[in-house]
Chains A and B, each alone.
Chain A
Amino acid sequence: MTSHAVNGLDDVVHQRVRLGILTIAHEARRVEFGYLRATLDVTAGNLSQHLGVLENAGLIAIEKGYVGKRARTWVTLTNAGRAALAEEIAQLKLLINRVEHPDTPPDHGRSGAGRPAPPRPGPGDPGWS
């Protein structure tokens, strides 16, 4: 019995906005709420909900503070978040590969038993540019 690559996708991470948050937080040492809202084109309420989901899953850490008199919320990726993002990217690549090459032997889900591990560049890494 084999599992489809779709089964390897994590519902917490496999969501447009949450994947975007993790990607941005991965690139930056830490990122501010306002930058995330503007870059991902979401409302403050919507972004707060997604941040809550990721924080509850232990994928990000949220730090609140002030810069002058302005309240700021900073988001940092945790080690679990880094691993979850890498896993999501790997699964997405696997899924694309399965769609583009349906004749290749089925994968073995997350275990990866019996097949070489998929290449894992940095999550969403466009390389040196």
Chain B
Amino acid sequence: MTSGTAFSGDDPRQLLSGTRELARKVRKTQRATWFPLLVLAAVTFAAIPFRYSPHRLGTCAATGPGRVCTVYPDALLVYWPAALVLAYAAIAAFYIRRSRARGVGTRVRPYVIAGIILALAMTGSLLWTLYHPLAFTLAGPGLFSALHSYPFAIGLALVLLAWAERSGALLAMALGYSVVVLVTVAFGSVGGHRELGFPVQLVTAGSVLLLGGIGFLLAQRPWQRAA
């Protein structure tokens, strides 16, 4: 329960190592990485049914014999921003409640704010891609589509959470997750079969988040109060 042995004496070396030990201890108490990962996994999996809602037709262009149009499920344009804002609000509430219970705060506000801003910005960007003629040329398969996805926005925000928690493990996980999302979106778009690849991306992204959340849950063991 105490750190008396780790932080005692007046020897400079002891004092320095004691401060490091204290910092580690505080970070261990603060970390609750599993919660946002599990919430975001749930949000990602819950998006799958909305994928099959009626599609909104965006900008079209003539290509040889026919024409090609940008499309996006209508319901997803409402679901994602609403679900992500609610998810980040829940994450903020969880950290505040935990902070009060444990007596030590966490700098989670930048993560929550960035997550909400990214979710809203992604919606604006998607609408622009759908309706702006210039965006049509960019909106085809490839990296642009990959960057224009809500799961990728989740990954970007997770990098910020890794900074807030000073967690190298979460940083590695967030970067790995982002790469997986980019690859699945890019491959899911190949050959104009984006609508077939789309659920694969959601399933993959949700699975990575779920597995990450379970891994951090087992590692951080929130049922054991930090000493």
Chain A positions near chain B (C-beta within 8 angstroms): 16, 19-20, 23-24, 26-36, 38-41, 67, 89, 92-93, 95-96, 99, 123-129
Contacts and interface: CB of A to CB of B under 8 A. Distances in A.
Interface of B: 1-4, 7-10, 12-13, 15-16, 18-27, 29-30, 99-100, 102-107, 166-168, 171
A89 B19 contact: yes
B12 A96 contact: yes
Contact of A67 (B23, B26, B100): B100
Contacts, number: 100
Nearest to A97: B12
Contacts of A123: 19
Contacts of B4: 41
Given A38-B1, A41-B2, A41-B4, A124 B22 contact: yes
Given A28-B106, A30-B105, A20 B19 contact: yes
The 10 tightest CB contacts between A and B, nearest first, are A124-B19, A32-B103, A35-B103, A41-B2, A29-B105, A128-B168, A27-B26, A41-B4, A28-B104, A30-B105
8 contacts: A31-B26, A35-B102, A38-B2, A39-B22, A40-B7, A41-B3, A89-B19, A129-B166
Nearest to A39: B3
A47 to B, nearest CB: 13
B15 A125 contact: no
B105 A20 contact: no
Contacts of B105: 28-31
B13 A24 contact: no
Contacts of A16: 7-10, 15, 18
A24 B1 contact: no
B107 A29 contact: yes
B2 A126 contact: no
Nearest to A67: B100
